[in-house]
Amino acid sequence: MGADVGDDAGRDDAGRDGTGAAAPLVCTEITKIFGEDLGAAEALLAEGASRQDVQERTGCLVAVRDVTFSVERGEIFVVMGLSGSGKSTLIRCLSRLIEPTSGTVEIDGTPIGDLDDEGLRELRRSRLSMVFQHFGLFPHRKVIDNVAFGLEIQGAAKADRYRRALQVLEVVGLQDWIDHFPQQLSGGMQQRVGLARALCVEPEILFFDEPFSALDPLIRRDMQDELLSLQAGMRRTLVFITHDFHEALKLGDRIAIMKDGEFVQVGTPEQIVSAPADEYVREFTEDAPKTKVITVGSVMRPVDGETPAGEPVSLTAVLDDVLPQLLASPEALCVADDQGEVVGTVDRDRVAALLGEGSRAGAAPGDGPLEPR
C-alpha cells in the first residue's frame, strides 16, 4: 500500500542522518480526527478501517492519519496533495495550533505535546513561525505593525522592531507600503506581508502553508529565489505546503505526497518523478519537467567492459544539461563520478524511453529498466 511506501521513505531518511544529532523536527504517527466520538474513530482506525468507513460509522473526519517524517536542519520539506487532503491540518498540528489526536511532534528532541502553555508560548516566540494559507493578517494594524508583531510580543523596543521589520519588508518588496492597512493591498501583497511577518522574528523552524499561492508568476519566482538564497545563508528548517509541483521540485529537498490524510510517498524530487509510487503520484508528476530533475546517474547503464571514448558527463548532472551533447552524439556517452572515474554509459534510447514513460498510461512503476539506484 501507499502508506507503507511513505513509512519506509520516512524511516530511510531519518536513518540518513549520519551526524548523530537529532533532527530539529521529528513527527511520529500523527493522527488528527475531527468530530465528537474520537474514541470510536480511533478504535476503528486501529482495526485498519478506511477513512470513508470511519466517516460513515462515527461521523468523524480523519484529516491526518499516521503521518511520520522528520526534517533536517537546512532542509526544505515540501508537502503536496489535493485540496482537502489534510495539509493545513498537518502543519497546524506541528505547532499545536491544533492538538493532534495522537502521535508526537518533537522539536529539537523536546516532545511539544508535553509543554505547558507557557512553554509552548516560549517555543513559538523564539523558534517557530508560520505563514498562513489565508494570510491571517491583523486588519487593524498597519503593514509595519503586522510585520513587527512577533517582536512586539517578544517585548522588543519599538525602534528595534521597526528597523528589523523594514529590512524584511524590503526583502519582499513592500518597503513603500508600510503605512497601509492590509485591506488596502492586493491579495499577493497581503501574502508577502504574511511572509515578511513570519521571517521578521528569524525563526529556526518555519511552516509555510501555500505561501506563494496568490502571487503572480514573476513575483512568485522572485520569492522562490529569495527563499532559496535566504535558506542557503541561514539553513533553517522548513516545512512548505504547495499545490504547484514545479514549485515543489524547485524548492524541495524532499517531497511528501499526501492523499486522504496519509503520506503516499516521500522522497527526493528525482525519486518522486522517476518512480511515482502509484497512479495518484504519477498524475502529479505527469507534466513535470523531468529532464530538469532526473540525473544522469539514474538513467545510465553501468559499465560492462569497454567504455566509449569521448568527454564524460557528470553522474550528478540533470538530463537537461547533457541533452545537447546527447543529441549531437550518435554513440552512447560515458558517465564519470566525482573522482572522474568512468562508471557507466548513457545513450539517446534510454533517455527517450524515460521521456515517453509519462504518456504511457498504466505502466507499473519500477518495472522498467529505469529503476533508481
Ligand X SMILES: Nc1ncnc2c1ncn2[C@@H]1O[C@H](COP(=O)(O)OP(=O)(O)OP(=O)(O)O)[C@@H](O)[C@H]1O
List residues binding ligand X (CB under 6 A). Answer: 34, 61, 63, 81, 83-89, 133
Of 203, 224, 204, 202, nearest in space to 213 by CA: 224
- Under the binding rule (CB under 5 A), the answer on residue 133 touching Mg ion is yes
Per CB under 5 A, the segment of 39-47, 95-103, 130-138, 313-321 that binds Mg ion is 130-138
| Residue 232: CB minimum distance to other proteins, A | 25
| Residue 206: CB minimum distance to other proteins, A | 11
Per CB under 5 A, the segment of 118-126, 131-139, 275-283, 324-332 that binds Mg ion is 131-139
Nearer to ligand X, 133 or 224 (CB): 133
Written as nine digits, the cell of 178 is 508600510
What is the separation of C-alpha 30 from the centre of its chain, rounded to a whole number of angstroms? Answer: 17
Nearer to ligand X, 87 or 250 (CB): 87
| Residue 121: CB minimum distance to other proteins, A | 4
The binder of Mg ion chosen from 31, 70, 85, 88 (CB under 5 A): 88
What 3-state DSSP class applies to 254? strand
* 61-71 sheet: strands from edge to edge: 61-71, 25-34, 102-107, 110-111
| Residue 139: CB minimum distance to other proteins, A | 7
| Residue 133: CB minimum distance to Mg ion, A | 5
Q: Is 21 exposed, middle or buried (0-12, 13-18, 19+ CB in 10 A)?
A: exposed
Instruction: Report the interface residues with other proteins, using CB under 8 A.
Output: 92, 95, 97, 120-126, 128-130, 132, 134-140, 149-150, 152-154, 197, 201
Strand pairing of 205-209 and 237-242?
Answer: parallel
Q: Longest Cα pair distance anywhere in the chain, in angstroms?
A: 72
Nearer to ligand X, 84 or 109 (CB): 84
Residue 109 interacts with, from other proteins, ligand X, Mg ion, none (CB under 5-8 Å by kind): none
Of 312, 320, 311, 306, nearest in space to 355 by CA: 320
| Residue 116: CB minimum distance to other proteins, A | 13
Nearer to Mg ion, 88 or 237 (CB): 88
Nearer to ligand X, 40 or 370 (CB): 40
- Under the binding rule (CB under 5 A), the answer on residue 191 touching Mg ion is no
What 3-state DSSP class applies to 341? coil
Nearer to Mg ion, 133 or 231 (CB): 133
CA distance 2 to 302: 30
CA distance 291 to 351: 9
CA distance 161 to 163: 5
Distant-in-sequence, close-in-space partners of 44: CB < 8 Å, separation ≥ 6: 53, 54, 57, 58
Nearer to ligand X, 87 or 124 (CB): 87
C-alpha Rg value of the chain to the nearest Å: 23
| Residue 372: CB minimum distance to ligand X, A | 28
Residue 121 interacts with, from other proteins, Mg ion, ligand X, none (CB under 5-8 Å by kind): other proteins
Q: Which residues bind Mg ion (CB under 5 A)?
A: 88, 133
